Structure 1
Amino acid sequence: MTVSTRMLRNFTSPKGSRLPGKVLALALAAAVASPIAAPTPAEAQRGKLSLIRDAETEALMRDYAKPIFRAAGIARSEPEIILVNDKSFNAFVPDSRRMFINIGVLMEAETPGEVIGVIAHESGHIEGRHLVRLRAAASNAAIMSVIGTLLGAGAIAAGTASGTDGVAQGGLVTALGAGSVGQRTFLSYQRGEEAAADRAALRYLDATGQSARGMLKTFDRMAEQQLFSARYADPYAQSHPMARDRHNSLENAARNSKYFNKAEDPVLQYRHDMVRAKLIAYTSHPQSVARAYPRSDKSLAAQYARAIGAMKSRGKGAVPEIDKLIRQHPNNPYFHELKGQALLEGGDPRSAIAPFRKALSIKPNEPQFMVWLGYALVAANNPANLPEAENLLKKAIQRDPNSGVAYSQLAIAHSRQGERPQADLATAKGLMVSGDFQGAKRYAQRAQQNLKRGSPSWLQADDIVSYKPPQLERRR
């Protein structure tokens, strides 16, 4: 899911590029940001919240959530599920439109029901409007300011301000600058609200014909964690207290449901196993992956994990292992995506074009596949590819206006075609999404100097120049 620094030499000095070095550096910084990657030590010290993007994982989470959102009566707004690159078992909802879920939830959960139970519980907080009081009572509201910042940045970058239509979709970045996000005390709810969300979750599960066994298993896990001191307890256990009591109070109601003994959906279980293997492979040391998925394990999930591990260590040398996956399931778009990434990682972007194109042909509306293909077309350094790359990247941004990689590659495509104002504007939009508002203003101002005053592009640049992010509240 990532493009390593080995690929930098293919982009830093594009023939005929008019982008100055700093613009290219900024574009590359966004381009190589890993959708699945641990925060650097410096990021961790600054308390940044690291988010990930992965089409396969996001699709699974949407399918988990849709029935629950309908049962909760929040399907119309359909809260966006945002994946946090944190291996702890945690989830929270800072507003009614976003649900943050750590990848640790997926990595620890053995069944779909455990994840669905978490989604159902957090949906209970949204339906119960617990967030209004939470925001008012929070001792540190910095996270809400960050969410507001993302909302504004997403709107501006997508061109949904100043005379344009549309609704901002909120920004996703690889690392959010918000030191107080890690303060899990902010995530604590009143005990009554926790109980209400638990009961609501049971209702949603029953209404959708799903078992609450996974939810009870989650409480068991939390109760075990609470045996340790608060210093070592998992953040989810700290912010959702009294797990054993909650388990006991819900167990009878859960067991009385006619769906309690219903088996897990085999299709969802298969997809869960695949996503879990992917996350473990991308975020763990190769030796840990080998222990979790030894060669003796012939399951497709184990083969997937080992292929990803090989791609991380050998680049395009992993293609034979990935091809074995493709032969077994030729219509799995994520296997073709992995092959394209391995080739891109191995310094062969021209060969990466075909597997990315195949992935997109199987799932034609997936914006992340559009970005990957656009990236490979730009990286191939063939001028004939640039119009197609530009078109793909613009389509991807229309569907997902928060992709820093899309903006960075679009900037390079514009630059190589001699379209410097548009390159500057794309760079400015990418910087907006990443939260570098001052840098975005500088490039937007430069773009305006060479754009027709009053044109749509000029107005978008003006929105960026005029944007004022909300001020973060500081703890006293």
Structure 2
Amino acid sequence: MTYQFRTYVTLITFLASTTLMPTGSYAAPDSGQSIIRDTEIEKDIQNWTGGVMNAAGMKSSQVNIILIQSPDVNAFVAGGANIFIYTGLIDLSDNVGQVVGVIAHELGHIAGGHLSRTADVGKNASFEAMLGAIVGIGAAIATGNSGAAAAGISIGQGQAMNKFLAFSRVQESSADQAGFRFLTTAGLSPEGLPTFLGKLESQELLPASQQSPFVRTHPLSRDRIEALKHKVDESPLKTKAFPSEWDDQYARTKAKLLGFTSPMQVGYKYPSSDNSIPAQYARAISSYRLNQLAPALQKTDALIKLEPKNPYFYELKGQILYEFGKAAQSVEPYEKAVLYAPDSGLIRMALAQSLIESSGSNMAKLQTAIDHLKRAEKDEPRSAQIKRLLATAYGRMGKEPEARVYLAEEALMHGNRQEAARMADVTLKQLPPNSPEALRAQDIINTVGEPDKNK
């Protein structure tokens, strides 16, 4: 499971790492919001929405769905075809159809070209940097102070983002209609979107400060919801069930998120009498989050026994062992997770970090970690953490010029263009011509330009 609660030291300048969030997760200052990266959840959401994306004229590989840990109910599109979904929205939902319905609506915003203000946010940026940039630009718009984007948040993050991401009622209705069309073209029940909006309808009369972010950025109206309900009532797909496999994946998603974000609540939601796999999953994660090593391992081993080829149960075991200071022992379960999920760059990153942490002076282990990280780059091109881990591995091997190349790439992903250019320029002179790392350094200079010698 790549909901890895690890903290990396990075060159990021406007997002602070948290003690709560996993690999690739950072929060804007005082925001309570962090990017979550989880292979299992992301893969499942891609599975649910692949048909809808095809109906919208897009491929799953072209649309990034990014989870934000926050109890708020919200979803938005920014930086191109990037859909940000708050965990609070998934928690409020009742079924997989409602989540798919919201995503179909957000695809309607993409297809409708409602993204002009955020179009350039994501260029050469990690998702974490993208979220920080959105917050900064939102602050600038909300305050009228252009310096707020660079300085960070000068007002509450929620207020800033709401100002920046708000759509008009016309755009909302247009996205509704497009989402309905995408769902029906994909052969899915369109009932989820209006039923989810109906859960929020009562907030329309509340003061803005008491409304959910989704309501503030996606203006609701009774007419709008009624128009959707009318179309759904006429659809022959209204009562069509979603695949049972999706229902199971949805149940595991909700269990997993609750276990990580609210471990103390797991016992109320999933009592010991509930022996379903989602319930066992939540309880295993909860034990881990509550620092109960033996019960966490025992419960995770029980899950592995039930599904011995499930990569995410092995991933969870690897994570538990790593977080409790047992990096060497975490390698084996991570290797099994990679065996059963070879295309997961996030799991390879976790394995690589365990190899690095337990390598000592073992150069073979470090080289194996590097090999995994370079493979992971293909699946996670926006991951700044891969760059940091590569730099660490090369540094421990005594290859400082190679290490600096990856630090330069990390700096570029975090928007520190001058620092990236400076390191690449210095390092290029120390590397063999036309070596892979020399070509990377040259690519940075070609992208950024020669460093400013006066800075």
* Per-residue CA distance 1:181-226 (angstroms, 9 max, x = gap): 4421332223222212211211222122211221121111220222
- The answer on whether the counterparts of 2:35 and 2:66 sit within 8 Å (CA) in structure 1 is yes
TM-score, with length taken from structure 1 = 0.80
- The answer on whether the counterparts of 1:31 and 1:405 sit within 8 Å (CA) in structure 2 is no
Q: For 1:207 and 1:327, how far apart are their aligned partners in 2?
A: 40
**Residue among 377, 396, 421 paired with 2:401:** 421
**Residue among 193, 206, 209 paired with 2:171:** 193
Q: CA, structure 1 residues 407+468, in 2 after alignment: closer, same or farther (shift >3 Å)?
A: closer
Shift of residue 404, structure 1, vs aligned partner: 2.6
Shift of residue 325, structure 1, vs aligned partner: 1.0
Q: CA, structure 1 residues 86+468, in 2 after alignment: closer, same or farther (shift >3 Å)?
A: farther
**Residue among 144, 149, 152 paired with 2:124:** 152
Q: For 1:60 and 1:217, how far apart are their aligned partners in 2?
A: 22
Q: For 1:32 and 1:440, how far apart are their aligned partners in 2?
A: 27
Q: CA, structure 1 residues 2+130, in 2 after alignment: closer, same or farther (shift >3 Å)?
A: closer
- The answer on whether the counterparts of 2:167 and 2:219 sit within 8 Å (CA) in structure 1 is no
- The answer on whether the counterparts of 2:166 and 2:218 sit within 8 Å (CA) in structure 1 is yes
- The aligned residue for residue 385 of structure 1 is 365
Q: For 1:30 and 1:291, how far apart are their aligned partners in 2?
A: 30
Q: For 1:183 and 1:73, how far apart are their aligned partners in 2?
A: 28
Alignment of 1:17-56 (within 5 A): 34-35=21-22, 43-45=28-30, 50-56=34-40
- The aligned residue for residue 287 of structure 2 is 310
- The aligned residue for residue 211 of structure 1 is 189
- The aligned residue for residue 71 of structure 1 is 55
Shift of residue 24, structure 1, vs aligned partner: 11
Shift of residue 264, structure 1, vs aligned partner: 2.8
Q: For 1:269 and 1:243, how far apart are their aligned partners in 2?
A: 30
- The aligned residue for residue 4 of structure 2 is 2
3-state SS of paired residue (1:2)? coil
Matched, 1:84 2:71: no
* Letter of the 1:417 counterpart: M
Q: For 1:196 and 1:31, how far apart are their aligned partners in 2?
A: 38
Gaps of 5+ in 2: 139-159, 450-455
Shift of residue 95, structure 1, vs aligned partner: 5.0
- The aligned residue for residue 355 of structure 1 is 333
* Per-residue CA distance 1:255-288 (angstroms, 9 max, x = gap): 111111122321101101111111122122x322
TM-score, with length taken from structure 2 = 0.83
- Higher RCO, 1 or 2 (CA under 8 Å, sep at least 6)? 1
- The answer on whether the counterparts of 2:72 and 2:212 sit within 8 Å (CA) in structure 1 is yes
3-state SS of paired residue (1:277)? helix
Q: For 2:264 and 2:109, how far apart are their aligned partners in 1?
A: 40
Q: Cα RMSD (Å) of the superposition?
A: 3.0
* Per-residue CA distance 1:351-405 (angstroms, 9 max, x = gap): 1111111111111111112111111111112413112111111110122122233
- The answer on whether the counterparts of 1:350 and 1:380 sit within 8 Å (CA) in structure 2 is yes
- The answer on whether the counterparts of 2:78 and 2:121 sit within 8 Å (CA) in structure 1 is no
Alignment of 1:95-110 (within 5 A): 96-110=80-94
Q: For 1:426 and 1:38, how far apart are their aligned partners in 2?
A: 19
Shift of residue 323, structure 1, vs aligned partner: 0.5
3-state SS of paired residue (1:44)? coil
- The answer on whether the counterparts of 2:168 and 2:219 sit within 8 Å (CA) in structure 1 is no
Q: For 2:190 and 2:383, how far apart are their aligned partners in 1?
A: 36
3-state SS of paired residue (2:260)? helix
* Letter of the 1:146 counterpart: V
Shift of residue 87, structure 1, vs aligned partner: 2.6
Shift of residue 176, structure 1, vs aligned partner: 2.4
Matched, 1:443 2:423: yes
- The answer on whether the counterparts of 2:330 and 2:354 sit within 8 Å (CA) in structure 1 is yes
3-state SS of paired residue (2:180)? helix
Gaps of 5+ in 1: 9-21, 136-140, 154-169, 470-476
**Residue among 351, 356, 374 paired with 1:394:** 374
- The aligned residue for residue 176 of structure 1 is 132
* Per-residue CA distance 1:322-375 (angstroms, 9 max, x = gap): 111111111111110000000001111111111111111111111112111111
- The answer on whether the counterparts of 2:78 and 2:119 sit within 8 Å (CA) in structure 1 is yes
**Residue among 93, 110, 114 paired with 2:77:** 93
